Amino acid sequence: MSHVVAAVAGLFLIGVILRDAFEAVVLPQTVNRSFRLARIFYRASWQAWIGLASWLPPGRRRESFLGVYGPLSILVLFVLWALGLTLGFTLLQWSLGSQLVSAQGTPTSFLLDLYMSGTTFFTLGLGDVTPTSPLSRLLTVIEAGMGFGFLAAIISYLPVLYQAFSRRELSISLMDARAGSPPTAEMLVRRQGVADPERFEQQLIDWERWAAELMESHLSYPTLAYYRSQHQNQSWLAALTTVLDSTAFAMATFDGGIERQARLTFAMARHAVVDLSQVFRAVPLAPKHERLAPDALARMREHVRRWGMAMRPDGDADTRLADLRHFYEPYLETLGERFHLMVPDWSPERERLDNWKTSSWQRTVAGEAVSELHQDGDG
């Protein structure tokens, strides 16, 4: 009876892991099943990692520690899958009566089956333990082929993952000079060229494509959401927040070409933030504080008036902007809570310098960054 139970358990374990690995690595679409080993692993390990991070002081050290989780979790998950498959085939071999023979004369046992399964799965081919029955040999061949395929899939998966990460970070880095560090909607609007709204419209087109790529890559490979940017004041969530804030402001303020393109970019960015919230089971939360200060909104409107474009009355614009913000801010809040990422306000902190103005050897005068909040840049 125990051998039957072991056989069933081994088949079940192998089936569950193969399905989980296939859905995570090979299948490029969202899987919404409630029971997935990868999802359980990430929920449990991320909470444990956050608990460890809470022992560190807030700042660079904590952010660096959180940044290790994404790459490390991938490696740990691969190891768990491999160990699970090895254990599954061990149970199958043991259920057949441990029909193995050792060159050293070691008695058959569960540990010998485990050793045989490990050397077979990782294709070591030592030959010191060999199967004796036809069924045991068949299992050995199947496990060797599965181990080879598993390792090949993992090796091919990592470059795809890092290519998607690199594409994401490229656009985030470009936003540094355009919208500050961290990026904010006010700086993105204020750094546009005076009387040159076409440049703003072109940026909206570029960010519509970026939001689409972000949604596609992070839905196909949710692990990417745990990968943090190289600078602690930048993140994919902060960039997505800036895109949503800027497009919401443009939709509420303008008519014409900018408003039409802003609507398209807003739709894609909002689609991304909602779908990511659903994938990670993050329930929308009301923002904990007011992100848009009245003086920041006034500065943005004063700047765009110089473009000479038709603008809606402030009262109508305020109503529409408030409606649009309720449409996406709760999703930003819950994603920020889930991944411990900052959701930037509309206006930057005045003491912050852009990343390109600093280095380990030199820092520009802080007054330059402060003055940019009240002067018009040309981007």
Task: Measure the CA–CA gap between 323 and 253, rounded to whole angstroms.
Answer: 13
- Asked if 141 and 121 count as a contact pair (C-beta separation under 8 A), the reply is no
Provide the pairing of β-strand 100-102 with 129-131: antiparallel
Taking 70 as the threshold, does the pLDDT of residue 74 lie above it? Answer: yes
CA 24 to chain centre: 14
Confidence label for 378 from pLDDT (cuts 50, 70 and 90): very low
Sign of the Cα torsion 98, 101, 103, 107 reads positive
Same structural domain for residues 127 and 209? no
Taking 90 as the threshold, does the pLDDT of residue 95 lie above it? Answer: no
Q: How many domains does the chain have?
A: 2
Query: Could you tell me what percent of the chain has a pLDDT over 90?
Result: 36
Confidence label for 33 from pLDDT (cuts 50, 70 and 90): low
Residue 260, helix vs strand vs coil: helix
CA atoms within 13 A on the CB side of 18: 14
- The set of residues, in sequence order, having a beta carbon less than 8 Å from that of 207 and lying 6+ positions away, is 171, 243, 265, 269
Comparison of pLDDT for 24 and 249, the residue scoring more: 249
Note the pLDDT of residue 50. 93
Same structural domain for residues 117 and 59? yes
Same structural domain for residues 196 and 308? yes
- Asked if 307 and 194 count as a contact pair (C-beta separation under 8 A), the reply is yes
Domain-ending residue, one of 132, 150, 183: 132
Residue 8 is assigned to a structural domain of this protein = yes
Same structural domain for residues 349 and 290? yes
Q: Which domain holds residue 363?
A: 163-371
Of residues 141, 73, 6, the one with CA closest to residue 339: 73
Taking 60 as the threshold, does the pLDDT of residue 160 lie above it? Answer: yes
Domain-ending residue, one of 110, 132, 154: 132
Task: Measure the CA–CA gap between 344 and 327, rounded to whole angstroms.
Answer: 17
Note the pLDDT of residue 368. 47
Assigned token pair, 346: 């509309």
Note the pLDDT of residue 360. 62
Residue 140 is assigned to a structural domain of this protein = no
Residue 249 is assigned to a structural domain of this protein = yes
Same structural domain for residues 118 and 171? no
Confidence label for 69 from pLDDT (cuts 50, 70 and 90): very high
Taking 60 as the threshold, does the pLDDT of residue 46 lie above it? Answer: yes
Reported in sequence order, the residue ranges of the chain that DSSP labels E, i.e. its strands, are 100-102, 129-131
